[in-house]
């Protein structure tokens, strides 16, 4: 079942400026750095991730991405394709916690399907 939100990703143009705002203004703490472009913030319920994007974000572009937990990404993607859903990638892609793919709702909003497979 794909009904559990597991992460919120906030797309930013400048990771340092974002960190300044989220840690100094909003009082979040950094949980972990995943290279230069992805930082996880400490949050008790749902992880919040800041991710630097390539180039600037357009005014109408999606800046917050909801991640939905998948226990079996390949199975879920195939099931969604069978139901006529638009899946962004032919093959699921790696990410720091495992793998992901993206499904679009009828309005063009993207939802990230995440499989946590890189944790022991």
Domain annotation covers residue 6: yes
Long-range contacts of 102-106, Cβ-Cβ distance < 8 Å, separation of 24 or more: 103/77
102 located within any domain? no
- 66 located within any domain: no
On the question of pLDDT at 120 being above 50, the answer is no
For residue range 87-96, what is the model confidence (pLDDT) as tens digits?
A: 999 999 999 8
Q: Chain-wide mean pLDDT for the chain?
A: 89
Distance from C-alpha of 18 to C-alpha of 25, rounded to nearest angstrom: 10
On whether residue 100 sits in a domain, the answer given is: no
What's the rounded mean pLDDT across residues 8-17?
A: 92
The answer as to whether 90 is a domain residue is: yes
Q: How far is CA 51 from CA 9, 19, 38, 40, 102, in A?
A: 7, 10, 5, 9, 16
- The domain of 19 spans 1-61+71-94
In a domain, 119, yes or no: no
Measure the CA angle with vertex 31, ends 29 and 33; round to 5°: 115
Residue 120 inside a domain? The answer is no
* 99, part of any domain: no
pLDDT attached to residue 59:
47
List all residues 6 or more positions away from 74 whose beta carbon is below 8 Å from its beta carbon: 92
**Distance in angstroms (rounded) separating the CA atoms of residues 41 and 32:** 7
Count the domains in the chain: 1
Return the CATH number at 20: 3.10.180.10
**pLDDT of 41-88, one tens digit each?**
998 888 899 999 876 555 457 888 899 999 999 999 999 999 999 999
């Amino acid at each position: 079942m794909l009904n559990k939100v597991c992460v919120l990703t906030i797309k930013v143009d400048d990771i340092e400026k974002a960190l300044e705002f989220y840690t100094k203004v909003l009082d979040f703490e950094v949980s972990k750095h995943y290279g230069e472009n992805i930082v996880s913030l400490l949050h008790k319920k749902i992880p919040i991730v800041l991710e630097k994007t390539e180039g600037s974000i357009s005014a109408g572009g999606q800046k917050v991405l909801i991640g939905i937990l998948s226990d079996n990404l390949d199975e879920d993607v195939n099931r969604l394709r069978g139901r006529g859903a638009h899946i962004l990638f032919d093959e699921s892609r790696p990410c720091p916690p495992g793998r992901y793919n993206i499904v679009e709702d009828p309005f063009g909003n993207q939802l990230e399907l995440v499989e946590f497979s890189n944790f022991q």
